[in-house]
């Protein structure tokens, strides 16, 4: 590295360069790290996130003029402190001004009522004050006078001209220069053979020699197959400021640090490696992946010439850890040591170039490869003396966060001083404290137990179980659940015989009338051979006859099997045969040929013989453990599976329950299909508590009709699927005002819709209800409080009474709070198993290691985590199962059905989010000539219920496969991107035509359609800046770069321009997942999202920019 032939001088008065623009652009490049920060500033100027403030407390008699001179000597010594940044023909350049003495403000606070408070306010304001990279200065200093013998020196530098080591240099040099000025001598500072601009030129030239390609070969191998981002479980969605931050401070005592060092030395590792291994083990738990990537800053000062330079040299690089939960921690440490040493040997490769070369999938909401950063540095002296002054550092909080989590550790004489910086728009403080507590616990553990397997390393853990209650108010579960459903109903009918039990289109049945009619039907069933241990089908639409049929089947000692009349006849026949139904109760118009050859008889619900039976209660022998019903759900093997639910599980759901109010003055709406277990809550929640059950007519209503019925029939307790809840909140909010308690679930609730309801209808108690059919409708419930702060998702709450839940790992051991795991369920709500499927029953209903001998628990397959406040958060399925309009769907069942079509060679089915909600998409590999989608749809309708029908079909030549040969569901294209003819969509308006020509020009491609994604065509952030520059010239208006990320197709961008002008878009509507503008804009500022560093393409062809001093 050699000095340049003199830095290009800037005449401050004329504000002009000497030299031609091309010469200056070539001689004044930015380093790779500076370039990334410069692009960030271009996208979103005026942000303080990359400000680095520091404050010193100075005790003693401060010579302010001498201190001012000392500061100026340091500024004169380092060109970076006199550097600003401009652009020439769109190319960024760094401009070094000639040194001119500066006056640094002195603020006298000695007369303030509280000088310390006044100083703290100034410090906070300074930390939040942005820099102007074009005008500068990028180094600011203030002197705050608290008293005659106490001052604060406040410094602030932009990260583009400094890093952590720069501040240590600043401390040493200001101290030395102050003493030199006071003594009238020359400062004893090391000679600087080069300046930062020389380093930037050297770096550029070095990587143009072929070294970059050789270095990148290592990084391609190191990161091969690594995910572009890792799913760290956040509390809030990524739609906020993206840089708001806070910190939690902690300390590790010297004894712990020494033990960690000794253990590390035995393994040939360093303290940093040991801490990284512990952090990797913890992230492995939280992320739920064996592949963990952590960012770590490397100083970048490997050459002697740069050791004493103030400037940006640090390079934050990804350290990829392969964590096997069964390996001993010492083995993990050896692996980490090898990883760190490998990266250390290639630390000069700019991260921006790594991202450009590997081209990970762009996601504006996340930094590529890593979102967690670990830094460990030798401690800067907390206090020192110079020039008759005693100085010490003053802790400052910038209230910003550059990454999701940054763990900053400083080794001191007392141990380790730590700070966990986190994004407050993503995490609650309690979550961070929980994570930090687990990290400290791991650090303490590994020092003492290096041979312990990773999965057994202790961490503070909590198992969420049924909340404790005062003994006096606790119900007698034993007696409460030892009854049967029909006996409980008979007791209720005896207590309130004249109360209305059921109402339907103006008709009513009292409890006594319903009981008598059910008794007659039960006796008729007896006459047809229905007995305890026999299952009986019911195939009726919503009506009073449906309700009395269910009750009659139970009274006969049988278990009811709901059959949806809308199902294809082949499916009905299969269910009747699988459940061995001797009788199915149906309407008089039912086609009895459906069950031909199955041995199933059909009993018309209005059969004349029913009325001749006695009306008194039966003496059928049934117990609480006997089956009450069998409910069929989608099965991954291609056939539905029947869940056997006992009486006691239903009683636990609706008797003495704590999640909702069950009382005689409630009016329940029976709206859910009988084949959906929400109907269990609706029907028996009303009839076993003396309430009225209002039955909705048997058709799919409009939202207005549903709202009208809710209002006119004075419904007070309402269950809605998540999708219907969202629609009602959007369209019929006023009709929900009379509802006392609204339970919603069956799928993930939308946070904005929940917030809208509790804000506008505070009198309605909203309850998020979660639970698989295998645990009888509800397992956990979350009553949304009126003061609830919207999170990333709505929690599913705590277990309801009579239920215990556990968050477990693959070995069925509890995971720590905050760590994702599988939700396992125990208690009185458990089903008996799956009908005729003992192997599946044994697989999913396992021994409960936390309960009494012989007790069971259900492995739900749902991925959850326990929040610090004791509520559970649903994170998704651990398999491919999805929820469609509240129904549980196994895509494998649809795939199996599709493969039975002669025109289908292979198929894959997945769910995709659209502007209308979640839809099923079928991907088909044809066996020869492609069958028409309509043909496949007609075929599936004969085999599957309506809710399992794909919304669209996409034909592929072959299904994408993973390295293991399995279908790669993530690689399946979106339907809109899978045109059969692959022809680019032409423009349909003048705006689209102009935009399309600009796209072709900047991307250098001709075959582009108006619906092609900019980034899928090779576009990147730098080209995006060029694109908006051309658009601005063509349309005479400014377009933010964020617009390209929010509207990445010609059609969507044209529509955006028309919308801004108030002109209806002339293009057909584009169905896309639109990111909120605030989210996209804030997330654009993520430095390493902007991976491409070809500055030559930036704003190419644009008019020469004015360069400010």
Average pLDDT rounded to a whole number, residues 988-1005: 87
* Residue labelled with tokens 């919308």: 1059
Q: How many CB atoms lie within 10 A of CB 845?
A: 19
Per-residue pLDDT at 548 exceeds 90 = yes
Tell me what pLDDT residue 1 has: 65
Q: Is the model more confident about 1107 or about 530?
A: 530
Tell me what pLDDT residue 1045 has: 73
Q: Is the model more confident about 1015 or about 381?
A: 381
Per-residue pLDDT at 941 exceeds 90 = no
Contact 32, 314 (CB under 8 A): no
Per-residue pLDDT at 1093 exceeds 70 = no
Average pLDDT rounded to a whole number, residues 861-865: 90
Helix then strand then coil, in percent of the chain rounded to 5, is 35, 25, 40
Q: What are the b/e assignments for 158-183, b being 16+ CB within 10 Å?
A: bbbbbbbbbbebbbbbbbbbbbbbbe
Helix (H) or strand (E) holding 117: helix 115-127
Residue 807: phi and psi, rounded to 5, are -105, 115
Tell me what pLDDT residue 361 has: 60
Residue 217: phi and psi, rounded to 5, are -60, -40
Tell me what pLDDT residue 21 has: 59
Per-residue pLDDT at 589 exceeds 50 = yes
Per-residue pLDDT at 469 exceeds 50 = no
152-161, 270-279, 1011-1020: which range is least confident on average?
1011-1020
Tell me what pLDDT residue 619 has: 85
Q: Is the model more confident about 867 or about 1011?
A: 867
Contact 358, 351 (CB under 8 A): no
CA dist 809 → 82, 232, 461 (Å): 56, 17, 12
Confidence of residue 789 (pLDDT cuts 50, 70, 90): confident
Contact 649, 776 (CB under 8 A): yes
Largest Cα–Cα separation, the chain: 120
How does pLDDT run across 12-40, given as a tens digit for each residue?
333 334 456 566 667 889 999 999 889 88
Nearest to 746 by CA among 874, 574, 637: 874
Gap between the Cα atoms of 950 and 689, Å rounded: 40
Per-residue pLDDT at 1063 exceeds 80 = no
Q: Is the model more confident about 524 or about 1010?
A: 524
Per-residue pLDDT at 830 exceeds 70 = yes
Gap between the Cα atoms of 911 and 485, Å rounded: 37
| Mean pLDDT for the chain overall | 85
Gap between the Cα atoms of 53 and 990, Å rounded: 51
Tell me what pLDDT residue 983 has: 66
Q: What 3-state DSSP class applies to 386?
A: strand
Q: In the numeric block, which tokens belong to residue 24?
A: 């200056």
Average pLDDT rounded to a whole number, residues 579-595: 93
Q: What 3-state DSSP class applies to 937?
A: helix
Omega within 30 of 0 (cis) for the link into 559: no
Q: How many CB atoms lie within 10 A of CB 727?
A: 17
* Residue labelled with tokens 């041979």: 451
DSSP 814: B
Q: Is the model more confident about 601 or about 952?
A: 601
Question: Which range scores top for mean pLDDT: 222-226, 349-353, 714-718, 863-867?
Answer: 714-718
User: Any idea how long the chain is?
Assistant: 1109
Residue 1109: which residues within 8 A CB-CB, separation 6 or more? Answer: 10, 12, 15, 84, 95, 97, 135, 136
Tell me what pLDDT residue 971 has: 84
Entry pTM: 0.74
Per-residue pLDDT at 460 exceeds 70 = no
Per-residue pLDDT at 1026 exceeds 80 = no
Tell me what pLDDT residue 1078 has: 33
Residue 1067: which residues within 8 A CB-CB, separation 6 or more? Answer: 988, 989, 992, 1010, 1051, 1054, 1055
- The domains located in the chain, with CATH, are 9-200 (3.30.559.10), 219-384+397-456 (3.30.559.30), 497-622 (3.40.50.980), 890-959 (3.30.300.30), 990-1097 (1.10.1200.10)
Tell me what pLDDT residue 749 has: 87
Determine what percent of the chain is predicted with pLDDT higher than 90. Answer: 57
Average pLDDT rounded to a whole number, residues 452-471: 57
Average pLDDT rounded to a whole number, residues 908-914: 83
C-alpha gyration radius of the chain: 35
Q: Is the model more confident about 481 or about 251?
A: 251
Average pLDDT rounded to a whole number, residues 609-622: 89
How does pLDDT run across 297-316, given as a tens digit for each residue?
998 888 889 999 999 999 99
Gap between the Cα atoms of 38 and 31, Å rounded: 10
Average pLDDT rounded to a whole number, residues 564-591: 92
Per-residue pLDDT at 356 exceeds 60 = yes
Contact 634, 893 (CB under 8 A): yes
Cross-strand pairs, 669: 694
């Amino acid at each position: 590295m050699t000095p340049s032939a003199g830095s290009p001088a800037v005449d401050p008065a004329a504000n002009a360069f000497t030299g031609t623009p091309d010469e200056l652009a070539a001689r004044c490049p930015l380093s790779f790290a500076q370039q990334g920060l410069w692009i960030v500033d271009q996208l979103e100027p005026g942000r303080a996130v990359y400000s680095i403030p520091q404050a010193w407390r100075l005790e003693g008699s401060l010579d302010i003029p001498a201190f001012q001179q000392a500061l100026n000597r340091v500024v004169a010594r380092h060109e970076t402190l006199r550097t600003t940044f401009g652009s020439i023909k769109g190319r960024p350049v760094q401009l070094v001004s000639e040194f001119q003495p500066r006056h640094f403000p002195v603020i006298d606070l000695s007369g303030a009522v509280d000088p310390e408070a006044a100083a703290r306010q100034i410090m906070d304001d300074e930390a939040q004050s942005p820099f102007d990279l074009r005008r500068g200065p990028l180094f600011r200093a203030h002197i705050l006078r608290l008293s005659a013998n106490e001052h604060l020196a406040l410094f602030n530098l932009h990260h583009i001209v400094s890093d952590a080591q720069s501040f240590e240099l600043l401390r040493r040099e200001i101290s030395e220069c102050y003493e030199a000025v006071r003594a009238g001598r020359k400062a004893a500072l090391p000679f600087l053979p080069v300046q930062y601009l020389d380093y930037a030129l050297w770096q550029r030239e070095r990587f143009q020699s072929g070294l970059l390609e050789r270095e990148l070969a290592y990084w391609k191998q190191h990161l091969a197959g690594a995910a572009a981002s890792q799913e760290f479980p956040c509390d809030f969605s990524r739609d906020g400021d993206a840089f708001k931050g806070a910190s939690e401070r902690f300390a590790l005592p010297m004894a712990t640090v020494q033990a960690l060092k000794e253990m590390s030395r035995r393994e040939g590792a360093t303290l940093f490696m040991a801490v990284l291994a512990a952090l990797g083990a913890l992230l492995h738990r939280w992320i739920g992946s064996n592949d963990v990537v952590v960012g770590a800053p490397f100083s970048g000062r490997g050459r002697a010439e740069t050791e004493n330079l103030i400037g940006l040299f640090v390079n934050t690089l990804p350290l990829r850890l392969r964590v096997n939960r069964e390996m001993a921690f010492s083995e993990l440490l050896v692996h980490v040591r090898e990883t760190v040493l490998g990266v250390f040997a290639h630390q000069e490769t700019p991260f921006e170039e790594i991202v450009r070369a590997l081209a990970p999938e762009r996601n504006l909401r996340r930094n590529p490869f890593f979102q967690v950063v670990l830094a460990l540095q030798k401690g800067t002296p907390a206090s020192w003396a110079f020039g008759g002054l005693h100085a010490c550092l003053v802790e400052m909080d910038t209230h910003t966060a550059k990454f999701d989590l940054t763990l900053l550790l400083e080794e001191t004489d007392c141990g380790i001083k730590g700070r966990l910086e986190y994004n407050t728009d993503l995490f609650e403080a309690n979550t961070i404290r929980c994570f930090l507590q687990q990290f400290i616990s791991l650090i303490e553990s590994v020092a003492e137990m290096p041979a312990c397997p990773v999965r057994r390393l202790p961490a503070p853990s909590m198992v969420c179980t049924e909340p404790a209650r005062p003994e006096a108010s606790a119900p007698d579960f034993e007696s409460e659940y030892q009854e049967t459903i029909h006996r409980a109903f008979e007791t209720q009918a005896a207590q309130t015989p004249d109360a209305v039990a059921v109402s339907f289109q103006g008709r009513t049945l009292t409890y006594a009338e319903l009981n008598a009619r059910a008794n007659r039907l039960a006796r008729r069933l007896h006459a047809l051979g229905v007995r305890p241990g026999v299952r009986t089908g019911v195939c009726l639409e919503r009506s009073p006859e449906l309700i009395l049929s269910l009750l009659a089947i139970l009274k006969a000692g049988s278990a009811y099997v709901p059959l949806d009349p809308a199902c294809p006849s082949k499916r009905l026949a299969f269910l009747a045969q699988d459940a061995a139904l001797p009788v199915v109760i149906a309407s008089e118009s039912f086609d009895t040929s459906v069950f031909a050859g199955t041995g199933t008889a059909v009993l018309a619900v209005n059969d004349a013989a029913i009325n001749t039976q006695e009306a008194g209660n039966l003496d059928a022998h049934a117990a609480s453990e006997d089956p009450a019903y069998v409910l069929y759900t989608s099965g991954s093997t291609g056939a539905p599976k029947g869940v056997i639910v006992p009486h006691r599980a239903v009683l636990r759901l609706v008797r003495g329950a704590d999640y909702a109010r069950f009382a005689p003055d409630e009016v329940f709406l029976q709206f859910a299909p009988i084949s959906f277990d929400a109907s269990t809550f609706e029907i028996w929640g009303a009839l076993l508590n003396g309430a009225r059950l209002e039955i909705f007519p048997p058709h799919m209503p409009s939202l207005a009709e549903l709202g009208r019925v809710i209002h006119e029939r004075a419904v007070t307790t309402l269950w809605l699927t998540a999708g219907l809840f969202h629609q009602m909140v959007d369209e019929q909010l006023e009709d929900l005002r009379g509802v006392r308690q609204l339970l919603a679930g069956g799928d993930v609730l939308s946070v904005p819709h929940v917030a809208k309801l509790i804000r506008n209808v505070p009198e309605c108690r909203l309850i998020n209800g979660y639970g698989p059919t295998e645990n009888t409708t509800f397992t956990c419930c979350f009553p949304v409080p009126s003061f609830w702060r919207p999170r990333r998702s709505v929690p599913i709450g705590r277990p309801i009474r009579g239920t215990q839940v556990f968050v477990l790992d693959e070995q069925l051991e509890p995971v720590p709070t905050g760590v994702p795991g599988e939700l396992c369920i125990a208690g009185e709500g458990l089903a008996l198993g799956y009908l005729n499927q003992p192997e599946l029953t044994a697989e999913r209903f396992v021994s409960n290691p936390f309960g009494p001998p012989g007790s069971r628990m259900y492995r739900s397959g749902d991925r959850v985590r326990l929040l610090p406040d004791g509520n559970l958060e649903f994170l998704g399925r651990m398999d491919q199962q999805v929820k469609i309009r509240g129904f549980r769907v196994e895509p494998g069942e649809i795939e199996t059905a599709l493969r039975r079509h002669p025109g289908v060679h292979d198929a894959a089915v997945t769910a995709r989010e659209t502007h209308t909600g979640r839809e099923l998409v079928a991907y088909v590999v044809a066996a020869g000539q492609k069958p028409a989608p309509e043909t496949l749809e007609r075929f599936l309708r004969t085999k599957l219920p309506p809710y399992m029908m794909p919304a669209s079909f996409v034909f592929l030549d072959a299904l994408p496969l993973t390295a293991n040969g399995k279908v790669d569901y993530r690689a399946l294209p979106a339907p809109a991107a899978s045109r059969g003819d692959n022809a680019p969509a032409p423009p349909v308006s003048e705006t689209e035509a102009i935009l399309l020509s600009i796209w072709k020009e900047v991307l250098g491609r001709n075959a582009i359609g108006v619906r092609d994604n900019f980034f899928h065509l090779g576009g990147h952030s730098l080209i995006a800046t060029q694109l908006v520059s051309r658009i601005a010239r063509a349309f005479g208006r400014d377009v933010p770069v964020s617009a390209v990320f929010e509207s990445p197709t010609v059609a969507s961008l044209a529509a955006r321009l028309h919308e801004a002008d108030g002109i209806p878009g002339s293009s057909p509507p584009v169905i896309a997942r639109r990111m909120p503008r605030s989210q996209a804009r804030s997330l654009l500022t993520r430095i390493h999202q902007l991976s491409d560093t070809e500055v030559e393409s930036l704003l190419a062809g644009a008019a020469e920019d004015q360069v400010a001093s």
